[in-house]
A = this chain, B = another copy of it.
Amino acid sequence: MPAVRRLKVAVSGLGRMGARHAAHFLHRTPKAELVAAFTPDPKEVAWAKENLEPWGVKIYTDFDAMLEHQGLEAVCVATVTTVHAEHTTKAIKAGKHVLCEKPLSTKIEDCQQVLETARQNPHIKVMCGFSRRFDASYLNAYNLTKSGSIGRPTILRSQTCDKYDPSGFFVNYAQFSGGIFVDCNIHDIDLALWFFSAGTQVVPRVKSVVAFGVTAVEPDLAKHGDVDNGVGVVEFYDGQIAYFYSSRMNPPGQHDMTEIIGTTGKLSVNANPTTGLLESHLATGIHRDIPQNYYERFENAFVEEARQFTDAVLEGKTVPIDLESSMEAVRIGVALQESLRSGKKIWFGREGNQVEETGTKARL
């Protein structure tokens, strides 16, 4: 019998990412033990019967029942975005630590409620899973930034570009996703908050945002106030600027990249995308492949995320991602989406509230 103390974890939601989270906790997080999983979906239940139950995982079709699973200590919330906040809140109240898929919610009010609940339960660890923070290359970049290798981080450019999905899945999904800036660029926004606070550990405060977009391949997105190509700029108080691009039509696959530009150096993550170390030299030139989706790109980061969350809970450490920062990411994403729709630049006061632009607020 192992004498090792392992964290008893349940996964809520067994869709695309939920199934992966379940596999990570089951097979790739030695100090965690997947004990339960919840899904209301018959197809997902069938999958779980075949793939989880034989490993001793109990399957639930009722979330509340799952929360009462004997000995359960933590929940990974990986349901559809619209119930992230509700499940997280319930789990916290039930005394379970929570790893919640990003974003906390597409609505800032829901985020605030999660934070309030978390504040009332300070012994409970709650973390929003911004997976890129656990990618080895981003982590190297962060440590270099923190150690001062590039001077003061000043400009951040980041993009999230998906391979075009001809099924048009994302068109219908646009009504729930919060829009391209909340669904895709939320990662880039989170990176900006992370890197800009690398030296000071103070989350930077947004001053203004502006967004642009077009529907180049899926005109129906406009129905939901969304686009398939978005460009956004976020200006922070204290002289930092982040600018973002997102696309639903990147031909060769997933190309997420980031540059962190400091006063004495620049760090570039994935400027030169590739799947592995293979290049084909053929009569038509030199070719390489890139990941086909974000999971191919970030699989190891998701595993590392599960491991670090597990370690933080077991060892009583602070979780690596601050919940307030995850809410701030939603605030900025929502504002970008609003700017996209209205065509207006949106200003924030130093307290985080939206303010009116005034003619006298000269930039320089």
A: residues with CB less than 8 A from B are 1-4, 26-28, 30, 53-56, 136-137, 140-141, 144, 149-150, 152, 154-155, 157, 208, 210, 212-217, 222, 225-227, 229, 231, 233, 235, 239-241, 243, 245, 247, 249-252, 255, 261, 263-290, 340-345, 357, 361-364
Contact = CB atoms under 8 A, between A and B. Distances in A.
A2 B265 contact: no
Contact of A265 (B55, B233, B269, B282): B282
Contacts of A267: 278-281
Contacts of A265: 251, 280-283
Contact of A280 (B149, B281, B364): B149
A243 B233 CA distance: 10
B210 A233 contact: yes
Contact of A281 (B208, B210, B222, B266): B266
A137 B282 contact: no
A56 B2 contact: yes
Contacts of A4: 54-55
A252 B361 contact: no
A3 B54 CA distance: 5
Nearest to A259: B281
A245 B210 CA distance: 15
A270 to B, nearest CB: 4
A268 to B, nearest CB: 5
A101 to B, nearest CB: 23
Given A3-B54, A155-B245, A281-B252, A364 B341 contact: yes
Q: Max chain B CB contacts within 10 Å: which of A266, A269, A270?
A: A266
A12 to B, nearest CB: 22
B273 A286 contact: yes
B340 A364 contact: yes
The CB with the most chain B CB atoms within 10 A, among A4, A28, A214, is that of A214
- A53, A217, A271, A280 pick with most chain B CB within 10 angstroms: A280
Given A140-B276, A214-B154, A286 B290 contact: yes
A222 B363 CA distance: 10
Contacts of A27: 28, 30
A307 to B, nearest CB: 10
Given A152-B216, A212-B243, A286-B287, 6 more contacts: A210-B210, A216-B263, A252-B286, A269-B277, A285-B289, A343-B362
A278 B216 contact: no
Contacts of A340: 363-364
Contacts of A222: 364
Contacts of A53: 3
A335 to B, nearest CB: 14
A146 to B, nearest CB: 14
A343 B208 contact: yes
